[in-house]
Amino acid sequence: MASQKPLERPVLAVDVAVLRVEDGRLWVLLHRRREEPFPNALALPGVAVQVEETLREAAARALTDKASLARELLRDLHLEQLATFDALFRDPRGRTISVAYLGLVRSALGLDVSWHQVQDLLDGSLPFDHQQILETAVDRLRGKLRYTNIAAQILPPTFRIEQLQGVYEAVLGRSLNRANFRSKLLKLGLIEQTGILSEAVGQQGGRPPYLYRFVTMEVEAQDRDFL
Partner DNA sequence: GCAAAAGTGTTGTGACTACACCCATGG
Partner DNA sequence: CCATGGGTGTAGTCACAACACTTTTGC
Q: In angstroms, rounded to a whole number, what is the distance separating the alpha carbons of residues 129 and 210?
A: 43
Interatomic CA distance for residues 222 and 214, integer angstroms: 14
| Nearest residue (CB) to its own copies, 9 versus 75 | 9
Residue 55 makes contact with its own copies by CB under 8 A: yes
Main-chain phi, psi angles of 112, to 5 degrees: -95, 60
Strand-pair partners of 81: 101
For its own copies, the closer CB: 83 or 109:
83
Smallest distance, its own copies to C-beta of residue 205, A: 27
Amino acid at site 80: E
97 lies in the binding site for its own copies (CB under 8 A): yes
Helix/strand/coil (H, E, C) string of 91-154?
Answer: CCCCCEEEEEEEEECCCCCCCCCEEEEHHHHCCCCCCCCHHHHHHHHHHHHHHHHHHECHHHHC
Would you count residue 87 as binding its own copies (CB under 8 A)? yes
Q: Which does 33 bind (CB under 5 to 8 A by kind): DNA, its own copies, none?
A: none
222 binds its own copies (CB under 8 A): no
Q: Does 90 bind its own copies (CB under 8 A)?
A: no
- Per CB under 8 A, 109 contacts its own copies: no
Q: Which of 42, 73, 83, 219 binds its own copies (CB under 8 A)?
A: 83
Residue 198 Cβ vs DNA, minimum distance, rounded to whole Å: 8
